Amino acid sequence: MKLQRNSRLVVLTGAGVSAESGFSTFRDSGGLWEQYDVNEVASHEGWLRNPSLVLDFYNSRRAQLKDARPNAAHLAIAALEKQCRVDVITQNVDNLHERAGSTHVVHLHGELTKVRPESGLYERSGSEQEVIDVGYESVSLGDKAPNGRQLRPHIVFFGEAVPKIEEAINLVEKADVLLIVGTSLQVYPAAGLYRYAPMDTPIYVIDPKPVPLIDPRVVFIQDKASTGMEQFISQI
Ligand code: OAD
């Protein structure tokens, strides 16, 4: 399969694509979920129990993002827009795809640089109009939205719905080529997205570790994201 001007490439990324920018992944040895309890800092119940702890966790990740730079993999994905339509679906909450120049990015799990008012026990995903861009600033308990409610990270916590999943499915259904980079495919619904790709769509997977994907469409490139992207581009 060669990419042509009217081809649609859909790229699904996870923490591994940002590893070479200095971000820890979640489930690798030494990863974030070894250092923090996911139930405390990234779940709906964790937020209700101890919002300060959750705000601090995301404040420190936001501060880290300020000094991070897109790496060769982000840049290579963005550069493919010169060849064809490229849609990036990312599980990452950083903005490194955008800073590398990608113009169509769907953030499945939210965005670090944004916050929104909390809506109580039965948290809704919040309307786009309520979302506030805080850039790299810290947010504290007592910081309120214009509607008087506490600001919370614009992040999909475990236990919450994934509002952008339908948009992502629609993109994958139209993919001529699907490229998956740096995700362990452990977290649903993102992990099941590849199943929506058309039957004749090749699925390239870049990861230094084998990813347990049983699908005849898969072409596995066992490499880190930067050099894996070079291999992908030479094959496509
Ligand atoms: P994981 O930490 O589960 O998986 C990261 C993947 O990246 C693994 O398969 C690694 O082998 C691979 N990897 C490591 N270094 C790499 C490199 N240099 N280049 C390419 N790949 C590399 O992270 P995700 O699959 O992204 O959700 O995790 C999915 C979700 O779980 C996250 O979005 C987050 C987390 O909990 C929320 O917080 C809602």
- At 161-209, the pLDDT tens digits run 999 999 999 999 999 999 999 999 999 999 999 999 999 999 999 999 9
Q: How many CA atoms lie within 13 A of 71 on its CB side?
A: 19
How many whole angstroms from 19 Cα to the centroid of ligand 1?
A: 9
Centre a 10 Å sphere on the Cβ of residue 121 and count the other Cβ atoms it contains: 7
C-alpha to C-alpha distance for 71 and 74, rounded to whole angstroms:
5
| 57 within 8 A of 42, measured Cβ to Cβ | yes
**1 pLDDT above the threshold of 80:** no
Q: Which CATH class is domain 1-23+70-109+162-236?
A: alpha beta
Comparing 33 with 75, the larger pLDDT belongs to 75
Pocket test of ligand 1: the residue of 54, 111, 152, 187 to mutate, having most ligand atoms within 8 Å of its CB, is 187
Q: Is 28 in the pocket of ligand 1 (CB under 6 A)?
A: yes
| 220 within 8 A of 57, measured Cβ to Cβ | no
Put the strands of the sheet holding 203-206 in their side by side order. Answer: 105-107, 85-90, 8-13, 177-181, 203-206, 218-221
**159 pLDDT above the threshold of 80:** yes
Least confident of 42-46, 124-128, 174-178: 124-128
| 225 within 8 A of 206, measured Cβ to Cβ | yes
Q: Output the pTM of the full model.
A: 0.96
Atom of ligand 1 nearest to the CA of 92: 33
Write down the domain spans for the chain.
1-23+70-109+162-236, 26-67+111-155
Measure Cα distances from 59 to 16, 27, 50, 128, 198 in Å. 21, 21, 15, 21, 40
The fold adopted by the segment(s) 26-67+111-155 is SIR2/SIRT2 'Small Domain' (3.30.1600)
